[in-house]
Amino acid sequence: MIFDTSVWIDFSRGKNTRLADVLQKRIRNDQKVYICPPIYQEILQGIKTENELIETKSLLMSLDFLSLDAYFASEGAANIFRQLQRHGITVRKPNDCIISFYAIHFNLKLVHNDSDFDKIARYTLLKIFKE
C-alpha cells in the first residue's frame, strides 16, 4: 500500500483515525509501506522543527521508496489529468495525479483521505484501499 500525505498528516499529529491506525499497524508490524517522491516532499515541507525533521526522516527512510523516471511519471500524471478533464473533472492538486500514477504503475492500493483520489479512481485503474 501507498499512503497519501492526508493520512500521514493524521498519523504525525497522533490523530486516532481509521486510516492513520492502518498506517501505524503496518509500520509497527514491519509490513511494506511504500512512498513516492511527491508524498515524501509534501511530508517534509510540512515539518516545523529540526527535531521533528530528524525523527520524520528516520521513519521515512525505513519505508520502501518507489522510483520512476521523472519525465515518465509526469507524462503519466498529465494523461490522468486530461482523462479526468474529458469527464468534466478538474483535480485540485496536480501532485494527486502523480501519486495516482505511481500507485497505478506499481499496482498498489492507495490509502487516502482526499476526495480527488476517489474521482481519479472512478476513471482510471487506481485502486483505493477500503476496509
Asked whether the predicted pLDDT for residue 63 surpasses 90, the reply is: yes
Quote the Cα angle for 89-95-101, to 5°: 80
The 3 state secondary structure assigned to 77-118 is HHHHHHHHHHCCCCCCCHHHHHHHHHHHHCCCEEECCCHHHH
Indicate the pTM of the whole model.
0.94
Alpha carbon distances (Å) from 123 to 22, 77, 120? 26, 13, 6
C-alpha cell at 47: 515539518
| 3.40.190.10, 3.40.50.1010, 3.90.79.10, 3.20.20.70: CATH of 70-128 | 3.40.50.1010
Q: What is the pLDDT of residues 74-131, one digit of tens each?
A: 999 999 999 999 999 999 999 999 999 999 999 999 999 999 999 999 999 999 998 7
The helix/strand/coil state of 61 is coil
**Start-end ranges of CATH 3.40.50.1010 in the chain?**
70-128
